[in-house]
């Protein structure tokens, strides 16, 4: 072991988590400032507060985890880190599904405000129900993947039972990636409506770009889960996995906040978000 100057991906995880958390928080603040000033706050804004809080909690947990071996090679891992890193990993697993599920629910509520078509209403209501069901199911599946819960980080507990978390997480990630594609790329059909003002078209275009990044991050997370479970160097590979999850969850909130900050962006970047046709 190299305890003095070990190779680590902890810096990579911190370099992703902290900027993503800050930018996400700025977009949330801008969203509430912009809509609050116009007295236009809606249920979608208040729902988005929940995934924002969960995303912040996950970021803090992952940053703390870098002090207890996340990003380190297994041969540089200290035995006393087992319990704290297990607890932080469980926190991230438990909070991730409600975070991204609530984000999609908020995004669908925003779509209901923007796009009045019957087709959009059906899509949003079905997606809200499925996202809520998936988030609740995965919350409990991850929380009780080991019974008692402490057995997740304490293998000395006698009589404990743990499910195959590999199957659970990979299947969950695949379903989440599918819903990412459906939800975040849903507004692309309106991009080709030439009657839209330029500022709305630019907002949708930026949202489409972020949506593509979210979908790519989700697909990468599935691959990284396979790498994680196939490798003995789990703490080193876990840092990249957590960083990808941070990009996916934080960008989802940023993307969902774009309609709420559009007028603020138009004030800051008048050329890009000009209201002219």
Question: pTM for the full model?
Answer: 0.91
Structural element, H or E, at residue 62: helix 43-65
Domain ranges of the chain: 10-262
Structural element, H or E, at residue 162: strand 161-162
What is the predicted pLDDT for the residue at 152?
93
| Cβ atoms of 241 and 221 closer than 8 Å | yes
> Under DSSP, is residue 35 helix (H, G, I), strand (E, B) or coil?
helix
What is the predicted pLDDT for the residue at 277?
43
What is the predicted pLDDT for the residue at 109?
95
Residue with tokens 């209403």: 121
What is the predicted pLDDT for the residue at 13?
96
Distance CA 103, CA 153 (A): 29
* 161 bridge partner residues: 147
What CATH number belongs to 10-262? 1.20.1070
- pLDDT means per 10 residues, the chain with 277 residues, are 78 96 96 90 96 97 95 92 95 96 96 90 96 96 94 90 91 93 85 63 74 90 93 93 95 90 76 56
| Whether the bond into 214 is cis, omega within 30 of 0 | no
């Amino acid at each position: 072991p190299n305890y003095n100057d070990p190779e680590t991906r902890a810096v990579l995880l911190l370099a992703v988590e902290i900027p993503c958390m800050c930018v996400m928080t700025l977009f949330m603040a801008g969203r509430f400032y912009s809509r609050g000033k116009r007295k236009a706050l809606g249920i979608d804004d208040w729902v988005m507060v929940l995934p924002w809080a969960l995303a912040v909690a996950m970021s803090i947990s992952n940053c703390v985890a870098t002090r207890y071996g996340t990003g380190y090679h297994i041969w540089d891992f200290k035995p006393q880190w087992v319990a704290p890193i297990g607890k932080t990993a469980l926190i991230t697993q438990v909070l991730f599904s409600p975070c991204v599920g609530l984000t999609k629910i908020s995004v669908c509520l925003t779509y209901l405000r923007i796009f009045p078509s019957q087709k959009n209403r059906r899509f949003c209501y079905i997606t809200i129900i499925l996202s809520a069901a998936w988030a609740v199911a995965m919350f409990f599946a991850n929380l009780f993947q080991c019974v008692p819960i402490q057995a997740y980080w304490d293998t000395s507990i006698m009589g404990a039972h743990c499910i195959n978390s590999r199957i659970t997480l990979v299947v969950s990630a695949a379903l989440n990636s599918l819903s990412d594609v459906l939800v975040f790329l849903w507004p692309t059909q309106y991009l080709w409506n030439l009657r839209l003002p330029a500022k709305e078209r630019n907002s949708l275009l930026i949202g489409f770009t972020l949506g593509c990044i979210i979908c790519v991050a989700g697909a990468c997370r599935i691959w990284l889960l396979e790498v994680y479970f196939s490798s003995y160097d789990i703490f080193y590979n876990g840092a990249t996995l957590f960083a990808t999850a941070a990009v996916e969850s934080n960008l989802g909130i940023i993307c969902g906040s774009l309609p709420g900050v559009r007028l603020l962006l138009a004030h800051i970047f008048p050329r890009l978000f000009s209201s002219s046709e």
